[in-house]
Structure 1
């Protein structure tokens, strides 16, 4: 039983369940970066109460959801839009008028390029700088400025934090905001994982000062509902209205709406999620880093990028884990990474220990 690893979002747990002839809850999916605490209990109750309402079309106005997010994000309602996950919004953004190309990070989320290709837009990749000694990635601000000064009307995607390496933008490179505005570029900050850090790391305040800043925000990662699909974006009202015209009607289903309304207001859930992650990601990173022939990038959020020593085969390691019903993310096809790079999500202590012990077994059995 061999596993074909591909550059997709994560492990297909449904396919793995069929191949391994086991239930979904028996599979440890470290390839998808979802809140280790799971779903909000208040959100689950809301979904259960609202299940009979699916006989009706979803509320296209989403009045309650707009009210909650406007207050939570300190953003006027007219500067917010929702979609069927962040990916749908990324595709819709690529349909903004006058865009001549898309500028994407390498490594970076594959949907930036897929969205560009769906619109026939040329893609330029900008590489993040890798410090081999410190074993971390950073944005090469000078290189980005040089490129952006020589081009016009680009969609400039910046992961904050960037997936899969976890690099944060924070407030570096303020000159880029002005250069992009002068040259007709849109600055698109993908903040799908920002809730794992807190609003102080977000670039959303720049929406008030720059008409060309767009924030993409996922609600499926922190609130643990990738199967429900809901994402948000923030931008100036004119951009929002244009983007809305590219999103199908009833894009956000009723259950996604009611779950999000309650989960966003579940302060106890948010606090416990952040407490769990802060403790577990540091412990997990330290333990993974102590495994022979594996080196990890220090995480900023709920996933960790790692590299397996070139003496070993990542494909073999993935196969070994797969046969133990464990999925991890193969990152070897990302531009800017190369062979033997992989990514794992942070889960709870019991699950993290299982992965650590299984990785140790693989290295012991295949030591070279």
Structure 2
């Protein structure tokens, strides 16, 4: 199984290599809200900026209280961390677990977190339908695997990164199997805000003690540099995971930003409305180039594969020369050469990408 720890979004390294400033780089490798930060959150940070002379609130009272109201979740069911990744590492430190099941393709940090805790890592593959251009979860396969073992953590991306697959199964049988066999079932919903609450599994944590939902505030609310993530689960599970998270993990500005941003309804609705249009437009425009096999997007990124007569490495180098970053997905298990992922950006930036792509393919010489 491939475990190369490579992420998109290393714009700082690109800036150093290119000898240019960050604002001159078009970073399609990081899946961040194209509308930028929440205006309400930004104003809150300005208002509370001078309070950074104090330690952050270790109880994170304001943000947890606000999330409790927004998500209709008891405060004792919520914990926060320095981004979703820190919470994933904390989850892998749960007691009486020896194996972690991760989706393929899937977020690499699941496996890296498990390896850091000395756990065995096993993959389960999503099914790719080439005619429908989509990856799908195989519920029967998952249930069979969970019946064959005990004391595991099952990670499910919802939507899954990098393919955007949503978990549409509401089968109670999987939860009962996990309960009977002492498994934890973890839904990583780092991108769920882009599609809305109707697709979230967070209500299941109230019904199943072994269910945990991870939520990122850095993707939708566009603050990957602040780092703030949340998780929901039964208080006994939450308290155990929290014991692995350092005090003051979430800084003060991240707390006050998040508290205001999650209540910024105009910003939330504008983001969903814009992305609903823009992701379809970009998907259509990229498809019209007739060189890509694309997975239909559900959120703010598009997974695709370049026609085998081209080299994605050459294309990536060309884009790099134009200060454009895209995500090479060849290291993802079950994908391989010429697979890539691009984020959906603002319209003008997306137009720039398309213009450069057209130039490349028009001038291409084998």
TM-score by shorter chain over 0.5: yes
Where in structure 2 are the equivalents of 1:158-177 lying within 5 Å?
Answer: 158-177=156-175
Q: Does 1:328 align with 2:310?
A: no
CA distance, structure 2, for counterparts of residue 345 and residue 179 of structure 1: 36
> What's the counterpart of residue 187 of structure 2?
189
Q: TM-score, normalised by structure 1?
A: 0.97
> What's the counterpart of residue 216 of structure 1?
214
Q: Does 1:69 align with 2:50?
A: no
C-alpha displacement of 1:284: 0.7
Q: Judge which range, 254-263 or 168-177, deviates more.
A: 168-177
The partner residue of 2:284 within 283, 286, 308 is: 286
CA distance, structure 1, for counterparts of residue 337 and residue 55 of structure 2: 47
Helix, strand or coil for the counterpart of 2:293?
A: strand
Q: Does 1:39 align with 2:37?
A: yes
> What's the counterpart of residue 296 of structure 1?
294
Helix, strand or coil for the counterpart of 1:358?
A: helix
Superposed CA offset, 1:52-76 (max 9, x none): 1111100112221111100101100
CA distance, structure 2, for counterparts of residue 22 and residue 131 of structure 1: 41
C-alpha displacement of 1:172: 4.3
Superposed CA offset, 1:168-194 (max 9, x none): 002344321111111111000000000
CA distance, structure 2, for counterparts of residue 310 and residue 7 of structure 1: 25
Superposed CA offset, 1:63-90 (max 9, x none): 2111110010110000000000000000
C-alpha displacement of 1:367: 5.3
> What's the counterpart of residue 274 of structure 1?
272
CA distance, structure 1, for counterparts of residue 172 and residue 336 of structure 2: 31
> What's the counterpart of residue 50 of structure 2?
52
> What's the counterpart of residue 110 of structure 1?
108
C-alpha displacement of 1:239: 0.4
CA distance, structure 2, for counterparts of residue 357 and residue 178 of structure 1: 51
Asked whether the 8 Å contact 1:31–1:344 carries over to 2, the reply is: yes
Structure 1 ranges of 4+ moved more than 6 A: none
> What's the counterpart of residue 351 of structure 2?
353
Asked whether the 8 Å contact 1:7–1:330 carries over to 2, the reply is: no
Helix, strand or coil for the counterpart of 2:70?
A: helix
CA distance, structure 1, for counterparts of residue 44 and residue 68 of structure 2: 20
> What's the counterpart of residue 88 of structure 2?
90
Asked whether the 8 Å contact 2:139–2:169 carries over to 1, the reply is: no
Counting matched residue pairs gives 363
CA distance, structure 2, for counterparts of residue 336 and residue 183 of structure 1: 28
CA distance, structure 1, for counterparts of residue 5 and residue 85 of structure 2: 16
Cα RMSD of the aligned pairs, angstroms, is: 1.1
CA distance, structure 2, for counterparts of residue 211 and residue 367 of structure 1: 58
Where in structure 2 are the equivalents of 1:111-150 lying within 5 Å?
Answer: 111-150=109-148
Structure 1: give runs of 5+ residues left out of the alignment: 1-5
Superposed CA offset, 1:111-167 (max 9, x none): 000000100100000010011122210011121111110011110000000000000
CA distance, structure 2, for counterparts of residue 11 and residue 43 of structure 1: 22
CA distance, structure 1, for counterparts of residue 217 and residue 338 of structure 2: 30
CA distance, structure 2, for counterparts of residue 125 and residue 361 of structure 1: 39
Structure 2: give runs of 5+ residues left out of the alignment: none
CA distance, structure 2, for counterparts of residue 149 and residue 134 of structure 1: 30
C-alpha displacement of 1:335: 0.4
CA distance, structure 2, for counterparts of residue 108 and residue 117 of structure 1: 15
Q: Does 1:233 align with 2:231?
A: yes
> What's the counterpart of residue 201 of structure 2?
203
Helix, strand or coil for the counterpart of 2:187?
A: strand
> What's the counterpart of residue 340 of structure 1?
338
Helix, strand or coil for the counterpart of 1:144?
A: helix
